[in-house]
Every structure is written in structure tokens, then in C-alpha cells.
Amino acid sequence: MEILVATHNRGKLEEMRAIARGWPVSLKGLSETGIDLDVEETGLTFDDNALIKARALFDRWAGPVLADDSGLCVDYLDGAPGIHTARFAGRGASDQANYRLLLDKLEGVPEEKRGAHFHCSLALVNPQGEAVYQGRTDGGIALEASGTGGFGYDPVFIPEGEHRTLAWMSPEEKNAISHRGRALRQFLEERFPHADPLRRRR
């Protein structure tokens, strides 16, 4: 099954392809279709924004579409940056600018109060209807950025039970515990229940 993923983010697309490896799906990004779509995310929740993007793209594609809205929710900041994660430091801000601002806002906050989680809402829109799948990864915010892998806030997020940030983990390690990995596997297991279970990566 060919599915269009509503993203221009190459890192996100490659991550999703790695998670879906071995399943009967082929994931395509917007850059591979020639579709230039910039959707204003006006929703109040991750679910809302994921569905807004998926619906807008489905109107142009007419085949199955996946769109995710993911974000980092920090306890000390009352859940911020939340749905504003990608533009925390302003529209068009770099990953580094975003996580540097986060570290600045948490300056002086002790480790025990730096709890956080990543959330992913993955919306599917296809001719048969709509569905939303959710994934979550708990952890905390590091005192400083470290690691060279991943993207986004990976250099400052330490998953629960770990001492390393996501940016220090291999792609396989990260995908096994990531919020996006959990949401995407939920979709795959529901839609393809007879796929070879040995191929499923948890």
C-alpha cells in the first residue's frame, strides 16, 4: 500500500520508513510528489492539527494519507511548548534555537522538576474514513544539550530509565521507544493484523 506522509521533514520521513520496514507499506513524502502544501495548524490539540493536515492533503492526493502532529510537553512549563513545539522560538526557527530557548527557560530548575514527555498524534485519512493513533514517550529535560543524532529536541530529551539523550541513541534504539514509533506501530498492527509478527519492531 502506498501512503503519502504529510511532511517536508526528511528526518521525520526517514524515521517513519525505518519503523515501517518489513510492513506492506510504501511511505512517500511531499517532496516526492510535487505537492506544495503549507497548511495552517489552527487546532487546539495534537489530534486536531494532525487531522487538519491529513484532510488538506487528502483533498489533493485522493489516496491514503498519514499526518502527525507531535510535540514536547514539559511539566514545569505547564505542558509547553506542546502544539507550538516546532515554532517555540518563532516561525522558521532552527532545532537548535528551539531547544536552546527551552534550556534557557529551565535554567536553575533541578532535575527532579524537569519531567517531560513527547506526544504524537498520527492521523489517517483515506477513502474509507479517518482515524487517529497516539504514542507517548516519558522522560525529562537534560541540563545541557548532548549527542549528535536525531533531530528536533533529541539532544535535550532523556527517556525514562535512560541516562543518554535521544541524540546519543542509534536510530533503532530511538525508534523502539519513540512516541512516533509507538503511534505508527499502532496503525500498522491495526491495519495489517496478518503481517508477519517477526517483522514487527517494538
Active centre residues (catalytic) = 69
CA distance 39 to 86: 14
CA distance 114 to 109: 7
Other Cβ atoms closer than 10 A to 47:
17
Q: What is the CA radius of gyration of the chain?
A: 17
Can you state the angle between helices 179-191 and 10-19, rounded to 10 degrees? 50
Burial group, residue 57, by CB count within 10 angstroms (0-12, 13-18, 19+): buried
CA distance 43 to 51: 9
CB 62 within 8 A of CB 4: no
CB 96 within 8 A of CB 150: no
